[in-house]
Amino acid sequence: MSAIKVFTKGLYAQNPVFKQALGLCPTLAVTNSVQNGIGMGLAATFVLVGSNVLVSLIRKAVPAKIRIPIYIVIIASFVTVVDLSMAGYFPVLHKALGIFVPLIVVNCIILGRAEAFAGKNSVGLSFLDGLGMGLGFTMALLILGTIRELLGNGSFFGVPVTGASFEPMLIMILPPGAFLTIGFVMAFFKWLENRKASHV
Amino acid sequence: MEIRMLFIISISAIFINNFIFSRFLGLCPYIGVSKQLDSAVGMGAAVIFVMTLASTVTWLVYTYLLLPAQTNLFYHLFALKEPPDLTFLKTIAFILIIASLVQFVEMVIQKVSPALYKSLGIYLPLITTNCAILGVTLLNIDENYRFIEAIVNGFAAGVGFTLALFLMAGIREKLDLADVPKAMQGIPIAFITAGLMAIAFLGFSGLKLGM
């Protein structure tokens, strides 16, 4: 697989959220606004890139039997870095994301990439893989956040965009809206795939 | 007063702040293991058990090892000048506790009751990366729960999770027979079902529980 392919596969072909259904908890929980979604996406991307690079660096020294605990400790350390920096520099965002910042530790995308990719590939490729998957995750959060904020609050990134004639649907920024939105978006991607398959 | 408080904590953890429908924790097993009623019950029982245990252990570790207070054990053990503030280790400590706890429980059940191991065994390894477990332990700390409250909250959160899983499995068993559009089959329709259930659960948020 070429380096470019390693990077781009996370964006669409193997998008962690829409195609692999991984990392669902933060995806649904923080997308009630675009801003929260992007904050969460970038935080997870940082942890993903950092842990992928480190796991790849030490992959020859790690005994296979205890690799999972080692990966978890590496991931947890990066999450602590993100948690404390975010609390220091972006206290408002940190408060809005709440316990979902420390919960990046158990985001299955990160452990999944460490296990499936970084533990077997070179540092450079692992970096690209982490970056691609992280941006794919951020993109998914951006899509869901945009739909929910637009329909539920009539705004984008906190700026009102719909006119006064539009009555915001509160349900979209409440928990049920998250389930409904991701259900329909996933169905849309599946529909695209089915259509492509039937054309070939 | 104490009992009343515990009752309020349980009701809100099971219904009002249901882990699946309102807090979005533990969605991976919720979508993954909700295809059949049997496996839903097995997973639910394993989650209740580990959640209660994890709440107990993490609360003790946080209060007596990490928190900078007079009760800090390191403070007495090493005769330090002042209690050390180790709260920044919370995330790392909790995930390690949960991972080793799950491993330990697995070994004990395997020795003590092979029958129980057969029914719960396959769900236990999955639980380590279940964000609901780490979530409930972090919430216990965030909410400043006392010891008994933390244990009750852990148990009730597990019950709420099981309730959601059980209901969903019942619906999905019937859904297999329904005529669902091709693009909606599988995960998309599961999410939309969950959305409709979440609307129903939203009704509980109208409950006013006086403190």
Mean pLDDT, each 10-residue run in order, chain B (211 residues): 85 90 85 81 86 94 88 83 85 90 84 78 72 91 92 95 92 88 88 92 79 49
pLDDT at residue number A90: 93
- Are the Cβ atoms of B195 and A177 closer than 8 angstroms? yes
In chain A, the residue whose alpha carbon lies closest to the alpha carbon of B190 is A183
- Cα dihedral B29, B31, B33, B36 in deg (nearest 10): 160
Distance from CA of A82 to the nearest CA of B (A): 12
* Residue B107 one-letter amino acid: M
Distance from CA of A51 to the nearest CA of B (A): 14
Max alpha carbon distance in chain B (Å)? Answer: 70
Q: 3-state SS string over chain A?
A: CCHHHHHHCCCCCCCCCCCCCCCHHHHHHCCCCHHHHHHHHHHHHHHHHHHHHHHHHCCCCCCHHHHHHHHHHHHHHHHHHHHHHHHHHCHHHHHHHHHHCHHHHHCHHHHHHHHHHHCCCCHHHHHHHHHHHHHHHHHHHHHHHHHHHHHHHCEECCEECCCCCCCCCHHHHCHHHHHHHHHHHHHHHHHHHHHHHHHC
Please answer whether residues A74 and A115 qualify as being in contact, where contact means their C-beta atoms are separated by less than 8 angstroms.
Answer: no
- Are the Cβ atoms of B192 and A108 closer than 8 angstroms? no
CA Rg, chain B, in Å? Answer: 19
Q: Under 8 Å CB-to-CB from B59, ≥6 apart: which residues?
A: B137, B140, B141, B145, B147, B150, B151
Q: Which residue has the tokens 């978890």?
A: A72
- For residue A167, what pLDDT band results from cuts at 50, 70 and 90? confident
- Are the Cβ atoms of B134 and A188 closer than 8 angstroms? no
Residues A52-62 as b or e (16 or more Cβ within 10 Å = b): bbbbbeebeee
> What are A29-68's pLDDT values in tens digits?
888 889 999 999 999 999 999 999 999 999 999 888 888 8
Whole-number Å distance between alpha carbons of A183 and B184: 8
- Are the Cβ atoms of A29 and B23 closer than 8 angstroms? yes
Contact residues on chain A for B139, CB-CB shorter than 8 A? 99
**Cβ neighbours around B129 below 10 Å, total:** 23
Give the ipTM of the model, two decimals please: 0.86
- Are the Cβ atoms of B131 and A107 closer than 8 angstroms? yes
Whole-number Å distance between alpha carbons of B154 and B58: 11
Q: Which of A170, A179, A195 to mutate to test the interface with B (most CBs of B within 10 A)?
A: A179
Top pLDDT among A156 and B126 is at A156
What are A109's two structure tokens? 């995308």
pLDDT at residue number B210: 58
Residues A176, B186, A33: CA angle, nearest 5 degrees: 30
Please answer whether residues B159 and B30 qualify as being in contact, where contact means their C-beta atoms are separated by less than 8 angstroms.
Answer: no
pLDDT at residue number B113: 80
Q: Chain A residues with CB-CB distance to B under 8 A?
A: 21-22, 24-26, 28-29, 69, 72-73, 76-77, 79-80, 83-84, 98-99, 102-103, 105-108, 111, 171, 174-180, 182-184, 186-188, 190-191, 194
* Total number of residues shown for chain A: 200
Contact residues on chain A for B54, CB-CB shorter than 8 A? none
- Are the Cβ atoms of B191 and A194 closer than 8 angstroms? no
Distance from CA of B125 to the nearest CA of A (A): 12
> What are A116-152's pLDDT values in tens digits?
899 889 999 999 999 999 999 999 999 999 999 999 8
pLDDT surpasses 80 at A164: no
pLDDT at residue number A65: 81
What are B79's two structure tokens? 């005769």
pLDDT at residue number B40: 84
pLDDT at residue number A3: 84
pLDDT at residue number B177: 87
- Are the Cβ atoms of A72 and B202 closer than 8 angstroms? no
Cβ burial of B86 (10 Å; 0-12, 13-18, 19+) is middle
